[in-house]
A and B are shown apart, each in its own frame.
Chain A
Amino acid sequence: MSCEVLDQDLEAFVDHELDDEGARRVREHVAQCEGCRVRVAERQMLGRLIRSVPYRTAPDRLRERVASQTSRSLMTRRVFTWAAAAAVIVAIAGGTALLRPSMPDRGTIMAEVVDGHVRSLMANHLFDVQSTDQHTVKPWFLGKLDFSPPVVDLSSSGFPLIGGRLDYIDGRPAAALVYQRHQHTINMFVSDDGRGASTTIERRSLRGFHVRHWTRDGMSFWVVSDLNESELDEFVGALMR
């Protein structure tokens, strides 16, 4: 690969938007070309500089204004929704008393995982134990769960562990481990799977949140964040190492 070819791929490489093969070719070129190594490093440094500018969060005044607007507007719609829901429940109760509650499918659990993530951010209940030390977080779960979730700090890969809390997924207690990447929060839910088979990583998205799911060592893992997909995959990769 020549430097001219890299011109086109430089941004995509820095932004993790190249496929594996493309990224490998750029890495090989960069390894032996001082000029391009500098160009990549400059762009990565620029990214860090840009992210060092403090994030501006919505002022409380705006939050309140939006909340009151929302509740007023949704009120009318809700009344109809509840009336419709009540009608459906009456119909179901009358018609299908024999219906068995079925096992929740993975889509339902995923929605639950995303809700759990959103709730943790909205209710400001991100941690029960706030620590960047894995040796503080791991023992905290002892006695609260009947399995031992793996707790690793990934600071060296750019994903510092910031805490943990007890949560529920699929009606079962789960460990929620909280990691951070720039301004983004990553929640990792670990619950006892009970089946024991290991699966490959499933990649899904829901409502603007990206979700990764797999099972390993009898535990079920759900990773959820609004972080972009490539960095989330980087996180999962660092976790698997």
Chain B
Amino acid sequence: MPAPVFETTVLPHLDAAFNFARWLTRNDAEAEDVVQDACVRALRYFSSFRHDDGRAWFFTIVRNTWYSRISRRTSAADATPLDSRQDGPADAALNPEMRLLQRDTVGRVRQAIERLPVDFREVIVLREIEGLSYKEIATVANVPIGTVMSRLARARERLLAELQTVASVETLA
């Protein structure tokens, strides 16, 4: 089997890396910087890339890059201002009233996720949006699988409690 090639191992996951970084940083510019730094690191360490999951490997580097950036700052929790950009276009098939309702729902879901502590936020994003297995998440977040499960359980409890009122429009999701 040929040696893995950077362009086909790491670069196809650039979108996923950006989306993940965006959820970690909650800020567009910061996410771009994190992913760019992560690429530099990934290139540098690529010769030591052994196991065969390029995506999880890249996620790990993105996460570590971000952690090392915020550890240089005094207050990690509020280091980066939250972008308050509005959501993209809602589904055009819906009537205007439904569209407003849907946009509102999406906005509230995003806010609820962004308000989660980062330990919870990352497992929710990796599981629900990226579809990583528990084992992969454990590798990326560098915690035991049991911890992944308990964080997921608690994150979901919090989100469900917060979104209880959204439940009435659940059919739109």
Contact = CB atoms under 8 A, between A and B. Distances in A.
The answer on A and B forming one complex is yes
Interface of A: 10-12, 15, 17, 42-43, 45-59, 61-63, 65-67, 69-70, 73-74, 107-108, 111, 115, 118, 121-122, 182-184, 205-208, 226-231
Contact of A48 (B52, B134, B173): B173
A52 B91 CA distance: 11
B156 A208 contact: no
Label chain B's interface by main secondary structure: helix
A230 B133 contact: yes
A61 B31 CA distance: 12
B32 A46 contact: no
A59 B29 CA distance: 10
Interface of B: 1-2, 4, 6-9, 11-19, 22, 28, 31-32, 35-36, 39-40, 43, 52-57, 87-88, 102, 105-106, 109-110, 113, 124, 127-129, 131-134, 136, 149, 152-153, 156, 159-160, 163, 166-167, 170, 172-173
A54 B39 contact: no
Nearest to B107: A53
A62 B159 CA distance: 31
Contacts, number: 142
Contacts of B19: 55-57
Given A46-B156, A73-B43, A122-B12, A12 B149 contact: yes
A108 B2 CA distance: 9
B55 A70 contact: no
B128 A50 contact: yes
15 contacts: A17-B134, A51-B129, A52-B105, A52-B109, A53-B110, A58-B35, A62-B35, A63-B14, A66-B14, A69-B36, A70-B43, A74-B6, A121-B12, A207-B8, A208-B55
